Amino acid sequence: TLSFLYTILFYRMDNVIQRKGLDPYIGYLHAVTYGRKSLALDLIEEFRPIIVDTLVLSLFNLGVVDKGDFEEIIGQEEENEDLQPVSKEIKDVRTDKMGNFEEQTLHIPEGYQLPRDNTSFGDDGHTEPVTKAVLLKKGALPKVLEQFERKLDSEFTHPRLGKKMTYRDAIDEQVSHFLQVLNGFEENYQPLIMS
């Protein structure tokens, strides 16, 4: 539930960032990496504990969700007929000399087969089956999303501004504050810290 709600919060933040005309890929706390919206990741950090973490605890404490709202998916080892066989010989691209396409091949041991999508690579480079995942059941999804929206509509007193607002408005306010700092209208960015 935590990772699911972090994702929902991330997309909310990303939406506000783009609406304000900022580049979500340029961040300050998270490394700039191809395809990573680092600014969105940076700015959700201050909201994760006050919106998502507290919400998840409340979901369980109030009995909105319980163990029955989750299902454990356990991977099973693949049968041989489910594996994709590899050709006995494949070209070794390491032997290619700048356009000199020689017909050198690697020999694959008899019976070797590539794993399908339900495997991952371990630290040693060998494949490992994905053994289990815990998923929120479809019936619990609307309950969790409804509570997330309620949490966003909860009012609190913004510590920097000293006025009441919703968490939804606070996300917008913090992105605006960040933009003001970038434009030089405010000196320092002050994250939303609740005490």
- Report the distance separating Cα 78 and Cα 60, nearest Å: 36
- pLDDT at residue 138 is higher than 80: yes
Contacts of residue 30, defined as CB under 8 A and 6 or more positions apart, other chains included, come to 36, 38, 41, 42
How many whole angstroms from its chain centre is CA 124? 25
Are the C-beta atoms of 50 and 167 separated by less than 8 Å? yes
Q: What is the pLDDT of residue 74?
A: 78
- Report the distance separating Cα 149 and Cα 136, nearest Å: 17
| Local structure of residue 68 (DSSP, 8 states) | G
Q: Other C-beta atoms within 10 Å of 67: how many?
A: 6
Q: Using 50, 70 and 90 to split pLDDT, how confident is the model at 137? A: confident
The residue with greater pLDDT, 150 or 80, is 150
- Report the distance separating Cα 134 and Cα 70, nearest Å: 6
Instruction: Output Rg (C-alpha) for the chain, integer angstroms.
Output: 25
What is the average pLDDT across 36-56? 90
For 173-189, how does the pLDDT look when each residue is reduced to its tens digit (9 = 90+)?
999 999 999 999 999 99
Q: Using 50, 70 and 90 to split pLDDT, how confident is the model at 18? A: very high
For 78-93, how does the pLDDT look when each residue is reduced to its tens digit (9 = 90+)?
443 443 433 344 333 2
Are the C-beta atoms of 54 and 48 separated by less than 8 Å? no
- Report the distance separating Cα 27 and Cα 33, nearest Å: 10
Are the C-beta atoms of 158 and 168 separated by less than 8 Å? no
- pTM (two decimals): 0.67
